[in-house]
């Protein structure tokens, strides 16, 4: 069996690039709608890692708020975290990106958005009969 997962959702923050030994990884998260039996609106956040050249493409094209379709391999990151003075082993799912597709229109940042102007009413001139 293949280890493949595909999700569609909105990017939660602009991607962040990090160096790991001789490689680089670009990290970002995607918000997806979580299934609910009682019609509650729940959001699940999925972390995504894009390595090397694929990471470069992500840095060039993926921005906060953008809807994306993500395909990759599901992996489990394990780490320890201190809680109340006790070290606790934690696990977190992450998608190792193999491809992505940008969906819909690119969101316009608020700073670039042009305020809508109200239409100006024009007076009608009466027809003059000669």
Query: CB atoms < 10 A from the CB of 63, how many?
Result: 18
DSSP state of 105: S
Q: pTM (2 decimals)?
A: 0.75
Question: Which tokens in the block code for residue 86?
Answer: 């006790």
Contact assessment for residue 8 and residue 70, using Cβ atoms and an 8 Å cutoff: yes
Strand partners, 29: 47
The reported pLDDT for the residue numbered 126 is 53
pLDDT in single tens digits along all 130 residues of the chain: 589 999 999 999 999 999 988 899 999 999 999 888 888 889 999 999 999 999 999 999 999 999 999 999 999 999 999 989 999 999 999 999 999 999 977 766 666 555 544 555 555 555 555 4
The reported pLDDT for the residue numbered 48 is 98
Domains in the chain with CATH codes: 5-76+95-103 (2.40.50.140)
């Amino acid at each position: 069996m293949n280890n493949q997962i595909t999700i569609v959702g909105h990017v939660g923050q602009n991607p962040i690039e990090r160096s790991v030994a001789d490689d680089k990884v670009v990290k970002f998260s995607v918000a997806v709608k979580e299934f609910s039996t009682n019609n509650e609106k729940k959001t699940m956040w999925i972390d995504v890692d894009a390595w090397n050249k694929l990471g470069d493409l992500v840095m060039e094209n993926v921005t906060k708020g953008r809807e994306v379709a993500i395909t990759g391999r599901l992996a489990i990151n394990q780490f320890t975290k201190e809680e109340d003075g006790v070290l606790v082993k934690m696990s977190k799912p992450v998608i190792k990106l193999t491809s992505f597709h940008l969906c819909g229109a690119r969101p316009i940042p608020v700073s670039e958005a042009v305020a809508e102007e109200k239409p100006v009413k024009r007076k009608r001139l009466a027809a003059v009969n000669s």
